[in-house]
Amino acid sequence: MTMNKTVRLARRPHGEVQREDFAIAEEALSDPAEGQFRVRAEYVSLDPAMRGWMNEGKSYVPPVGIGEVMRGFVSGTVDASRHAKFKEGDTVSGLLGVQSHAITDGQGIAKADTSLAPLQTWVGGLGMPGLTAYCGLTYVGEPKEGETVVVSAASGAVGQVVGQIANIYGCRTVGIAGGPEKCAALTDEFGFDAAVDYKKEWLADDLKAACSDGIDVNFENVGGDILDSVLPLMNFRGRIAICGLISAYNATKPVPGPYNFRSILVNRLRVQGFIVFDFLDKYPEAYKQLGTWYKQGKLKFREDVRDGGLDAFPDVLKLLYSGGNFGKLILKV
Ligand SMILES: NC(=O)c1ccc[n+]([C@@H]2O[C@H](COP(=O)([O-])OP(=O)(O)OC[C@H]3O[C@@H](n4cnc5c(N)ncnc54)[C@H](OP(=O)(O)O)[C@@H]3O)[C@@H](O)[C@H]2O)c1
């Protein structure tokens, strides 16, 4: 008999996630009611934000409750339907939770066109990370042709797309990543103009050398020392799009603010945080644009797809916070 395998939050983590923070079990499979359909998950997206969703406290979405199915983006196939718009066999993606089968009324669920890209890409470059890169860079970073754009965690799901879109916009692109292999991929695979390895000793000097005309747009994914190295190099009226601060997600003590905060004042910078959900009205445009560029061969997506099924979820999730992934981290269900 087919069962629903679920990954539920068992307790709130302290610091790094542990296996014991989750309860993984097989449960009875439900059938969809009128107006609903059921999705058989094929790929689960592993996202840095998952760590924040597990914490108690005020955020941009409510925390996942203890005992609830872990929140997560999924792509899969409709295997039962009593919904007018979604039929059995349709491929879809959306926030369906970390489980093998999800029942939904279709709210926020998009059809995934597998003639354009494989199903896994619909939780990656053509899914939430791609939307984040497009909306954050275009509408928060507001880069102009000829400007210098810097992005951190540049080989990751969001960063690799930011760099490639900035190239399309005619900008000079500089990526920051950990280690020679990831840095080589930035220039050789994704077409960045320069790459800086933050794991080497002289991040500030190397970044300065790579950004000889200063920085106009910083797409910040990491925070901490990386943001501090970027700040003094920012140009007059530069923009900093705060997309993520992954260096602090597992912190158990308060983290210091940027030491080079003064640059915001003297350079009249605009520093703006954003969440991809702020741009719901831009999603149709973003999907269309990303799909077009992908079809034209202007965008490439590097995916890091892991086996092991839902049992492997806690261990695979950890990879994000140590740089163990190379590209969009996805778990095959
Ligand atoms: N605002 C939004 O709506 C939104 C949406 C999606 C994602 N995000 C944010 O965007 C950022 C990137 O997400 P992603 O999905 O694209 O993940 P990702 O870049 O694919 O994976 C995370 C990467 O972050 C880097 N990293 C981890 N810990 C680090 C540390 N202490 N110092 C420096 N680098 C570190 C690692 O790369 P290296 O090996 O290069 O260190 C790791 O591979 C995250 O901060 C995430 O929260 C925000």
The minimum-distance atom of ligand 1 relative to the CA of 304 is 20
CB distance 61 to 43 below 8 Å: no
What confidence score (pLDDT) does residue 328 get?
98
Average pLDDT over residues 221-233: 97
Is 160 touching ligand 1 by the criterion CB < 6 Å? Answer: no
Confidence grade of residue 89 (pLDDT, cut at 50, 70, 90): very high
Give the CA angle between residues 237, 226, 14 to the nearest 5°.
125
Are the C-beta atoms of 148 and 122 separated by less than 8 Å?
no
Among residues 83, 138, 127, 128, the alpha carbon closest in space to that of 106 is found at 83
In the prediction, which pLDDT does 181 show? Answer: 98
The whole-number average pLDDT for the span 209-233 is: 98
* 3-class SS of residue 248: helix
Interstrand relation of 215-220 and 234-242 (parallel, antiparallel or unpaired): parallel
Per-residue pLDDT averaged across 96-104, rounded? 98
In a mutational test of the pocket of ligand 1, which residue from 221, 245, 282, 303 has the highest number of ligand atoms less than 8 Å from its CB? 221
Is any ligand 1 atom within 6 A of the Cβ of residue 125?
Answer: no
Residue 1 binned pLDDT confidence (cut-offs 50, 70, 90)? confident
Average pLDDT over residues 275-280: 97
* Site to substitute for ligand 1 among 123, 222, 272, 280, most atoms within 8 A of C-beta: 222
The pLDDT of 113-142, averaged and rounded, is 98
> Cα–chain-centroid distance for residue 292?
20
Instruction: Decide: 273 in ligand 1 pocket, CB within 6 A.
Output: no
Are the C-beta atoms of residues 132 and 45 closer than 8 Å to each other? Answer: no
Cross-strand bridge partners of residue 43:
75, 332
pLDDT for the residue numbered 7: 98
Write down the pLDDT at residue 120: 98
Protein residue with its CA nearest to atom 28 in ligand 1 = 321
Give the integer Cα–Cα distance in Å for 188 and 194. 10
With cut-offs at 50, 70 and 90, classify the pLDDT of residue 239. Answer: very high
Ligand 1 centroid vs 222 CA: distance in angstroms? 6
Decide: residue 2, CB within 10 A, 0-12 exposed, 13-18 middle, 19+ buried: exposed
Residue nearest to atom 12 of ligand 1 (CA): 221
Spacing, Cα 154 to ligand 1 middle (Å): 8
Q: Which domains does the chain have, with CATH numbers?
A: 4-124+302-332 (3.90.180.10), 128-277 (3.40.50.720)
Residue 102: pLDDT band (50, 70, 90) is: very high
**Ligand 1 neighbour 78 (Cβ under 6 A):** no
Q: From the alpha carbon of 198, which atom of ligand 1 is closest?
A: 33
Q: DSSP character for 312? A: G
| Ligand 1 atom with least separation from CA of 47 | 15
Centre of ligand 1 from the C-alpha of residue 124, in Å: 13
CA 109/CA 126 separation, integer angstroms: 13
Q: What is the pLDDT of residue 19?
A: 97
How far does the centroid of ligand 1 lie from the alpha carbon of residue 151, in Å? 11
Ligand 1 atom nearest 176 alpha carbon: 40
Work out whether strand 22-27 and strand 4-9 pair parallel, antiparallel, or are unpaired: antiparallel
DSSP-derived 3-state class of residue 59: coil
pLDDT tens digits along 157-207: 999 999 999 999 999 999 999 999 999 999 999 999 999 999 998 999 999
Sheet holding 270-273, edge to edge: 194-197, 172-177, 148-152, 215-220, 234-242, 270-273
| Alpha-helix residue ranges (DSSP H) falling in 140-202 | 157-168, 180-188
132 within ligand 1 shell (Cβ under 6 A): yes
Query: How does the average pLDDT of the chain come out, rounded?
Result: 97
SS3 state at 135: helix
Tokens of 165: 């879109």
Q: Residue 6 has which token pair?
A: 């679920």
| Distance in angstroms (rounded) separating the CA atoms of residues 38 and 105 | 9
> What is the CA(321)–ligand 1 centre distance, in A?
8
> Does 129 sit in the ligand 1 pocket, CB within 6 Å?
yes
Q: Is 156 in the pocket of ligand 1 (CB under 6 A)?
A: yes
Concatenating the DSSP letter of every residue in 195-214 gives: EEETTSS-HHHHHHHH-TT-
* Spatial contact of 110 and 85, defined as CB atoms under 8 Å apart: no
pTM of the model as a whole: 0.98
Tell me the backbone φ, ψ of residue 95, rounded to 5 degrees.
-80, 85
For residue 138 and ligand 1, the question of a CB distance below 6 A is answered with no
